[in-house]
Amino acid sequence: MNKTKVTKKTGKKILRFGVLVVLIVLLYVLGLAGLFSTNAMRILLNIALYVTLGTMWNLMSGFTGMTSLGQQAFIGIAGYTLCVITSTYNLPFWIGIVLGGLFSAILALLMSMVLFRMRGMYFAIATWVTAEALKTFFTSWKFVKMGAGMSVKARPYPGVSLIYVIALSLSIIAILVVYSLLKSKTGLGLNAMRDDADAASSVGVNIFRSRLLCFVVSGFFTGIAGAIFYLNRGSIFPSGGFGTEWTVAIVFIVIIGGIGTIEGPILGAIIYVALSEYLSKYPGYSMIILGFIAIVVIVALPYGIAGTIERKLNLTVFSTRRTLEG
């Protein structure tokens, strides 16, 4: 009886992963073969980037309990790094992307020295203030042309299909990194820390090291995603790169999709991009409707769409739950 149950469970798991692999292969093949229209590619590219951004914010807020409202700091830094590398130093764009991620990780490291003394809302506000301070600094920094913004000068400029493939790969890597992290011993500590940091600390979880790891990983991937976004856009301005709109979008994605689940940011990103595309025809109303949807979902589905599906139907692809065996 038990053996049949286990076989059924394993079968379901294999089926889910099989479907997922087929889907990923299809996304790559169709993109590389040029079977998507440029518009479809633009939408999928945005989804892939928001999946990465949402996954990284989820790692911090959903799995570790560090709610950041300043993810735009990493996006802006990486976007500007890409522009400086390609425009000022005439180097290839991929160096700009990698350095963008590295500088974002270094920024996370520097921020952690001060910000990790704070918790909860104080931490959230401090991250937001840091991003705002960076926006002000970049607006008056001559090296980056102050508020006039900078352009990406890649030669030759990569096509949308190549940028799409890079973004898709990044989102897959980001999900795998977070999944592996949460399945590891460190992940167990992170969950314990989210539920009660003091209790976790008393049983041997190194709070500072765990938080630092998440913050730096999140900063790195968020930065890379930001650099890819601006590679596709072609230019960056301080008000956009360090804009609070980024955090609004990321929080919406994770809350709607399901905070504390791997699938949540994926579902959230698809919904957010689809809604943004549709509502772009109705400027002025778009943010009202997005806000309204967020409130409704928070009230009705406090665990988000993925969280509710997991609880009601026991359906999950990337389960990070741990069960006692024996």
Partner 1 sequence: MKRKLHQRLAVLAILACLVLISACGSGGTDPSVSSSAAVDQEECILVGRVVPITGPLASFGSGTPFVEQQAIDYINDVLGGIYMSDLGRKLPIRLVHADSESSLTKASEAAVRLIQEEFIDIMVVSNTADTVCPVSTVCERYGIPCISVDAPADVWLAGGPYTYSFHAFFNTENELNCFMDAWDQLASNKQVGLVAPDDLEGLEIATRLPEMAIGRGYNVVDPGRFAVGAKNYGQLIRQLKGSGCQIIAGVMNAPDFAVFWRQCAELNYQPKISTIAKANLFAEDVAALGRLGDGLITEVWWAPDFPGISSLTGWNGKELADKYQVATNLENVPATIGYKHANIELLYDILSRAASVEAEKVVAAIRETELETLVGLIRFDAQNICIMPCLTGQWSVTDDGRAELKIVANTQKPDVTVNGPVRRHFPSASTLSGD
Tell me how far apart the alpha carbons of residues 85 and 78 are, in angstroms, rounded to a whole number. Answer: 10
Question: H/E element holding 236?
Answer: strand 235-236
Shortest distance, position 232 Cβ to partner 1, whole Å: 8
Q: Which of 17, 122, 143, 278 binds partner 1 (CB under 8 A)?
A: 278
Phi-psi region of 240 (alpha: psi -120 to 50; beta: other; left: phi over 0): alpha
Residue 296 found at the interface with partner 1 (CB under 8 A): yes
> Could you give the count of Cα atoms lying within 13 Å of 69 in the half-sphere of its Cβ?
13
Q: Which of 24, 233, 317, 319 binds partner 1 (CB under 8 A)?
A: 233
Shortest distance, position 87 Cβ to partner 1, whole Å: 10
CB 112 within 8 A of CB 215: yes
Question: H/E element holding 296?
Answer: helix 286-300
Closest CA to 212 of 110, 93, 86: 110
Q: Which of 105, 301, 305, 306 binds partner 1 (CB under 8 A)?
A: 301
Q: Which of 113, 300, 313, 324 binds partner 1 (CB under 8 A)?
A: 300
CA 64 to chain centroid:
15
Residue matched to tokens 């798991």: 13
Residue 240 found at the interface with partner 1 (CB under 8 A): yes
Residue 184 found at the interface with partner 1 (CB under 8 A): no
Q: Which of the residues 105 through 164 are near partner 1 (CB under 8 A)?
A: 136, 139-140, 145-152, 157, 160
Q: Residue 116 corresponds to which tokens in the numbers above?
A: 């990790």
Q: Residue 282 corresponds to which tokens in the numbers above?
A: 């109705």
Site string for partner 1, 192-221 (x = CB under 8 A): ------------------------------
Shortest distance, position 295 Cβ to partner 1, whole Å: 8
| Ordered DSSP codes for 109-155 | HHHHHHHTT--HHHHHHHHHHHHHHHHHHHHT-GGGTGGG-EE---S
Shortest distance, position 56 Cβ to partner 1, whole Å: 20
Residue 234 found at the interface with partner 1 (CB under 8 A): yes
Residue 313 found at the interface with partner 1 (CB under 8 A): no
Residue 280 found at the interface with partner 1 (CB under 8 A): yes
Q: Which of 10, 38, 90, 180 binds partner 1 (CB under 8 A)?
A: 38
Pairing of strands 150-151, 235-236: antiparallel
Choose one: 56-64, 170-178, 199-207, 276-284; the region binding partner 1 (CB under 8 A): 276-284
Residues in contact with partner 1, counted by CB under 8 A, come to a total of 40
Tell me how far apart the alpha carbons of residues 82 and 80 are, in angstroms, rounded to a whole number. Answer: 5
Residue 297 found at the interface with partner 1 (CB under 8 A): yes
Residue 292 found at the interface with partner 1 (CB under 8 A): yes
- What is the contact surface with partner 1 in residues (CB under 8 A)? 38-39, 42, 136, 139-140, 145-152, 157, 160, 233-235, 237, 239-240, 243, 245, 278-285, 289, 292-293, 296-297, 299-301
